[in-house]
Chain A
Amino acid sequence: MSKYIATRALRGAQAVVKEAEDALNAAMQSPGPDAKIELPMTAYYLPTIYGMLGHKVEKISDLQWVVDYCKTIVSPTPADNLWTPYLGETLDAGMATLFAEEVIEGIGYAKGERPQSKNGYTYNGAIDDVQMRTWGVALVDGRMTGFAAILGRAKNDEVAVKIVRELQAKGQLCFFTGDPNDGGDFITDQLLNQGVELGYDTYTVPLGNNTHSTIYAAGFATRAAISFGGFEPGDARRNLFYNKFRCFAFALALGPIDDLKYATAAGAINYGFPVIADTLIPNISPVGVTQYEHVVSMPFDDIPGANDMERAERLVEKCIEVRGIKLKITKVPIPVSYGAAFEGEVVRRADLRAEMGGKRGMCFEWLSMAGMDEIEDHKIELIGPDLDVAPAGTKTPMAIRVKIAGRKMQIDFEGVLERQIHHFLNGAEGIQHQGQRDISWIRIHNSAVEKGFRITDLGEILYACFKNEYGAIIDKIEMTFYTEEETVAKMMEEARAVYRERNERTAGLTDDSVDLFYSCTLCQSFAPTHVCVINPERVGLCGAYSWLDCKAAYEINPHGGNQPVPKGTCLSEEKGEWEGVNQFVNANTQQAIERFTVYSLMDAPMTTCGCCECVMSILPEANGVMVISRDDYSNSPSGMTFTQLMGIMGGGAQTPGMMGLGKTYISSDKFISFEGGIKRLVWLSKNLKEEFADQLQAAAEKVGVPDLIDKICDGDIAQDSDGMVAFLTEKGHPALSMDPMM
């Protein structure tokens, strides 16, 4: 805690508590101890005092207890020679400040002096029941992203308007207060000067003509928490926690900050509401009471930006970021339609305006993680010629460079996110996207360009989609598109180095190097006793979920179908059996499955749902296993086709000797390692043999049988058992001389 801030806040608190005491003493004389304190159009007590302390204030004399209590929690200002942390004292002083402000405002109401007005404009004053309910519901259901309490005076009227417009656009409810000390006009006046319509309907609410009136915002937060949090008045702890985690509010202090503002800000911090100032004050960066920084100083004129408007925009962005507010974008702002309906669309040659990548083309996508301060959110740039200058049907070289920053972003998510580009871009009308990394291929329809679609619109699509679907891990996105051949060629090499590095990192990610596996229970809708346990060296059996995908999915939606599965005590290293995995599987299969091994086909293998990419089955006559893929319609040496095999084992059954699997598991080091790994593979669908030729070769070399692949039978060689055995014998397949499988 900054000693400077602590000192000023304590001083402010002492002064305002004294002010409350004086006001109370005067009020005891007139209007007298029994004068009623009622907030207009509410059936409630002074909300902050009642909510936090459980103390009901109905008349002037009820305030005495509050003032006495405030005095007990405000400590003296720290002596010059004292350098202890002041957080506790400052927070207490902040609470006392809020109570004292509520006392003063309450007396104001008792005396009929509230709500305040100035130059014929009447402020809102206390939040009434209708406002409380409407705004409270909007905060809970997310129509309102949070609220901003804005104190003081913006650099000028235009900046004031810009700040408020930006906050409105981001769905924030805005409360305004100011003080005669702010030097004449404060934010409410500034907005009124500019003809901004203020009030309940526009979610812009001037509370009063003094800093004290900020208490109405705190009162609103306190009461909303009780109403929607389901706890009792007086339960301060739960109230503060509720606000910290659910009410995305913050205070924005514009202009010079006096003691009372410091003290009020300290009060806000108790609620987990950070304070952002547009003047130079000490930062309080460590997180704790608030989710991120407590106090952030952004001297307005030092904010990077071409002009004041841009600076105002940045300031608001910072507020949103510091409070951890995630925004949803409801409509992708591009000149063509966007939606799932366009995903399968093909752009034919005759309609082709521009093409990136594909045969003899050059196009790649490279997404990487950046530091929070290294990039600027929503900056989308094109370097090189755009679509409208390209003659119809030409090839355009292109680099899509995406940088992502987020407080919960991890380097491991780069690949996961990068792979989404395909799906995201395909949703736009007239845009066709295929592939990924340096084999990506984009085709753009004439009509899209005619409607005004330009390269940066690709960025708009990505921006909206990433923010909406991955908002939990993404705070900022910056994108640059390059279309000059030379630059693209040069960057492509850099990108390839990154892909290689990423491959190596994924390859280095082994089952042994992690403590957690992930589950996937998405298929339980139709296979109730099926759980995929997904480990770094084996994908889910549909092939769609890798360990990293699950990890990211869990960060994004902790209640979804992918849950962490702690391995727990190892029961068998060879079979890959862990206590934690067994427990998880048991608890999540209606206790139908008791044991579950990760590396064995014969002993408690993984269950099979219905959507596996391939099926594996033991072939006792060959002392090995076969793997048939979903797109292989032929018969297999087991005597059954893929569909027939699925009929036996699908639906969530655990069938020793048979198991569904994702394609990439075949070349994994952990491929049924308990039974001897890839050396057991005696028959494989021809299409898999071709698709995974390189990986299979590498796996074969790893186990010391470099010519293994040639010894594996496939559907072109034989689809029956006898034919296969003859082939294996002729080739001398290693499985024939291995230990019996059964």
Chain B
Amino acid sequence: MAVEIPVDKWTGKIRELKFGGGGRKEVIIGGASTLPYLKFEGEPCNPTRVAITIHDCEPPYPPGLLSAWGDVVKDPSEWAKKAVEIGADIICLRLTSAHPETANTGAVEAKATVDKVLSAVDVPLIVLGPGVAEKDNEVLMAVSETAKGQRIALGNCEEKNYKTIAAVAISDGHIAIAKTPLDINLAKQLNVLVSDVGVPMDSIIMDPDTGALGYGIEYGYSINERLRLAALMGDSMCQIPIINHAGPETWRQKEARAAEGVPAEWGSLDERAVIWEELTAIACINSGADLLVMNHPKAVEMIKATIGKLSA
């Protein structure tokens, strides 16, 4: 007996979002008109893209992750180059050193780092501030100016601090990342607020947050999915591509860090950590991520293979 596959008809579509340009490679994400990769429901869209995290200073990575990258972690432009070799569609640069509790570097250093990375690679860039409102604004203003015309993404715009980043993104033609803490209402509201300041709807990407496998992935999954459903049903304020930091979330967790004091059945740390990252990323893809941010070269390889199969 032939099984009939039920087909949902959607009226909404995720906006397409273009990174790069102005001499830089262009990467387009979004455009989905179905739930992820359900090709029988509608036109296939841009596949999920993969960005790789790099830092502007040597990050406190666990040894396995650190050694996977080697010496390049000491130099953001070398790191960026290696990330592109491994397959990064986009580089996600974290200005970790700008945090007041680390080196507390400022606008000048941020600009220099971004200039270096921009000239080292030709893929588009995401630049994230240290996550402290005042510092974020300070460094991202400088970053925005130096990258004018190359359409990078700046983040994070958060509910309590979004206007400055949004303003410079508008004036320099960049993308604003709207980040909210696992809450669908806030996610939508922040999209409204950011677009209200004047950021065009095709220049916003939202980060509705996610947890790693075992650490709230189900929340992240459900928020992604509900945003996607709302978007497909026609809610224009949710029709914005989603970015998920699957890598960074995973590597914060014990399963990716602990080699000792854990049950023997957990197996080898290196293998386990990479699989942990991969599974977290797959859950993000399944629930609607348009752009993944990853950490481990091996996990990138695995997830790219998965995306390839899904798109085939």
Q: Given A528-B226, A559-B196, are A136 and B167 also a contact pair (CB < 8 Å)?
A: yes
Complex CA gap A227/B171 in Å reads 5
B147, CB-defined interface residue at 8 Å: no
Q: Which residues of A contact B197 (CB under 8 A)?
A: 140
How many residues of chain B have a CB within 8 Å of chain A? 26
A568 to B102 alpha-carbon distance, docked (Å): 58
Whether A133 is near chain B, meaning CB under 8 Å from some CB there, is yes
- Given A230-B198, A521-B185, A524-B184, also A140-B226 (CB < 8 A): no
A143 to B226 Cα, complex, angstroms: 35
Q: Which of B137, B185, B192, B226 contacts A590 (CB 8 A)?
A: B226
- Against B, the Cβ 8 Å flags (1 = close, 0 = not) of A27-63 are 0000000000000000000000000000000000000
CB contact list, A210-259 vs B, under 8 A: 227-230, 246
Chain B residues lying within 8 Å of A141, measured Cβ to Cβ, are 137, 163-164, 166-167
- A559 near B198: Cβ-Cβ < 8 Å: no
A341 an interface residue at 8 Å Cβ cutoff? Answer: no
Whether A137 lies near B164 (C-beta < 8 A) is yes
A656 at the interface (CB under 8 A from B): no
Beta-carbon contact of A559 and B189 below 8 Å: yes
A505-B282 Cα distance, complex, nearest whole Å:
57
If A137-B171, A140-B163, A524-B184 touch, whether A560 touches B198 (CB-CB below 8 Å) is no
Decide: A525 and B164 in contact? CB cutoff 8 A.
Answer: no
B230 part of interface (Cβ distance < 8 Å): yes
A340 contacts the other chain (CB 8 A): no
Chain B: minimal CB distance from A523 (Å):
9
* B166, B167, B184, B200: most-surrounded residue (chain A CB, <10 A): B167
Contact A228–B167 (Cβ < 8 Å): yes
Check B183 for interface membership: any CB of A closer than 8 A. Answer: yes
A522 at the interface (CB under 8 A from B): yes
Inter-chain contact B184/A228, CB cutoff 8 Å = no
Given A522-B185, A525-B185, A561-B185, A137-B168 contact (CB < 8 Å): yes
Question: By the criterion CB–CB under 8 Å, are B192 and A228 in contact?
Answer: no
Instruction: Report B-chain residues with C-beta under 8 Å of the C-beta of A142.
Output: 163
| Residue A117, interface by CB 8 Å | no
Which of B145, B170, B189: most chain A Cβ within 10 A?
B170
Judge whether B167 and A137 touch: CB under 8 Å.
yes
CB of B162, distance to nearest CB on chain A (Å): 8
A246 CA to B166 CA, complexed, in Å? 14
B171: chain A residues within 8 A (beta carbon): 133, 136-137, 227-228
Annotate B150-190 by CB proximity to A: 1 below 8 A, 0 otherwise. Answer: 00000000000001101110110000000000011110010
Within 8 Å CB of A394, what residues of B?
none
- The minimal Cβ–Cβ distance linking A8 to chain B, given in whole angstroms, is 36
A521 to B226, CA, bound (A): 14
Nearest-neighbor residue (CB-CB) of B168 within chain A: A137
CA of A560 to CA of B185 in the docked complex: distance in angstroms?
Answer: 9
B225 to chain A: closest residue by CB: A528
Contact A525 B184 (CB under 8 A): yes
Q: Which of A133, A227, A525 contacts B183 (CB 8 A)?
A: A525
- Closest Cβ of chain B: how far from A137's Cβ, in Å? 5
The answer to whether the Cβ of B289 comes within 8 Å of any Cβ in the partner chain is: no
A140 and B185 contact, Cβ closer than 8 Å, known pairs A133-B171, A227-B170, A559-B192: no
Q: Is A194 an interface residue (CB 8 A)?
A: no
Q: Given the complex, which residues of A lie within 8 Å of B234, measured CB to CB? A: 587
Is A156 positioned at the interface, with any CB of B under 8 Å from its CB? no
CB-CB < 8 A to A510: which residues of B?
none
- A574-598 CB mask vs B (1 if < 8 Å, else 0) is 0000000000000100110000000
Does B141 touch A at the CB level, under 8 Å?
yes
Chain A 106-148 near chain B by CB (<8 Å), digits 1 or 0: 0000000000000000000000000001001100111100000
**Distance of A48 Cα from B230 Cα, bound (Å):** 43
A167 to chain B, nearest CB (A): 21
Contact of B198 with A228 in the complex, beta carbons under 8 Å: yes
User: Is B229 at the interface (CB under 8 A from chain A)?
Assistant: yes
Docked CA distance A590–B145 (Å)? 40
Q: How far is the CA of A137 from the CA of B166 in the complex (A)?
A: 9
Interface residues in A635-684 (C-beta closer than 8 Å to B)? none
Contact between chains at B164 and A133 (CB < 8 Å): no
| Residues 504 to 543 of chain A near chain B (Cβ within 8 Å) | 521-522, 524-525, 528
A137 to B200, CA, bound (A): 17
Residue of A nearest to B190 (CB): A559
Distance from A269 Cβ to chain B, minimum over Cβ atoms (Å): 23
Interface of A is mostly: helix
Residue from B168, B184, B189, B229 in contact with A560 in the complex, judged by beta carbons closer than 8 Å:
B189
A587 to B193, CA, bound (A): 21
Shortest Cβ distance from residue A582 to the other chain B in the assembled complex, whole angstroms: 16
Whether the pair A590, B233 counts as a contact (CB closer than 8 A) is yes
Contact across chains for A140 and B229 when beta carbons are under 8 A apart: no
Q: Is B145 within 8 A of A133, CB to CB?
A: yes
Are A590 and B230 in contact, CB atoms less than 8 angstroms apart? yes
**How far apart are B303's CB and chain A's nearest CB, in angstroms?**
28
Query: Shortest beta-carbon distance, B155 to chain A, in Å?
Result: 15
Question: What's the least CB distance linking A675 to chain B, in Å?
Answer: 33
Chain B residues, CB < 8 A from A136: 167, 171
Chain A positions 538-567 with a Cβ under 8 Å from a chain B Cβ: 559-561
Whether the Cβ atoms of B200 and A230 lie closer than 8 Å is yes
- Please give the distance in Å from A559's CB to the nearest CB on chain B: 5
Measured between beta carbons, the chain B residues less than 8 angstroms from A590 are 226, 229-230, 233
Chain A residue with the shortest CB-CB distance to B234: A587
Cross-chain contact A140 with B184 (CB below 8 angstroms): no
Q: What B residues does A230 contact at CB under 8 A?
A: 170, 198, 200
Interface flags for B199-239 (1: CB within 8 Å of A; 0: not) read 01000000000000000000000000010011001100000
For B167, list chain A residues within 8 Å (CB). Answer: 136-137, 140-141, 228
- Minimum distance in angstroms from B267 CB to a CB of chain A: 36
CB distance from A553 to the nearest CB of B (A): 13
Given contacts A525-B183, A590-B230, contact A228 B189 (CB under 8 A): no
Q: Are A137 and B185 in contact (CB under 8 A)?
A: no
What chain A residues lie within 8 Å of B183 (beta carbons)?
A: 525
CA A143 to CA B186, docked complex, whole Å: 23
- The answer to whether A591 and B233 touch (CB under 8 A), given A141-B167, A559-B193, is yes
Measured between beta carbons, the chain A residues less than 8 angstroms from B186 are 525
For B137-153 the 0/1 string (1 means CB < 8 A from A) is 10001000100000000
Provide the bound-state CA to CA distance between A568 and B233, in Å. Answer: 22
Give the chain B neighbours of A561 by CB distance below 8 A.
Answer: 185
Residue of B nearest to A134 (CB): B141
Which residue of B is nearest A591, CB measured?
B233
| Shortest distance from the beta carbon of B209 to any chain A beta carbon, whole Å | 12
A140→B164 CA distance, assembly (Å): 7
Bound: A137/B229 CA distance, A: 35
Nearest chain B residue, comparing its CB with the CB of A242: B198
Give Cα distance in the complex from A528 to B185, angstroms: 9
**Smallest beta-carbon distance A138→chain B, Å:** 8
A142 to B164, CA, bound (A): 8
Q: A522-B185, A591-B233 are in contact. Are A140 and B198 (CB under 8 A)?
A: yes
0/1 string, B101-141, CB within 8 A of A gives 1: 00000000000000000000000000000000000010001
B interface residues, Cβ below 8 angstroms from A = 137, 141, 145, 163-164, 166-168, 170-171, 183-186, 189, 192-193, 196-198, 200, 226, 229-230, 233-234
The 9 closest A-B pairs by CB, nearest first: A141-B163, A140-B167, A141-B164, A227-B171, A559-B192, A137-B167, A525-B183, A228-B170, A141-B167
Besides the contacts A137-B167, A141-B163, what 18 more A-B pairs have beta carbons closer than 8 Å?
A133-B171, A137-B164, A137-B168, A140-B163, A140-B164, A140-B167, A140-B198, A141-B167, A143-B164, A228-B167, A228-B198, A229-B170, A521-B185, A522-B185, A525-B186, A528-B184, A560-B189, A590-B233
Q: List 29 A-B contacts (CB under 8 A).
A: A133-B145, A133-B171, A136-B167, A137-B167, A137-B168, A137-B171, A140-B170, A141-B163, A141-B164, A141-B166, A141-B167, A142-B163, A143-B164, A227-B171, A228-B170, A228-B198, A229-B198, A230-B198, A522-B185, A524-B184, A524-B185, A525-B184, A525-B185, A559-B192, A559-B196, A560-B189, A561-B185, A587-B234, A590-B233
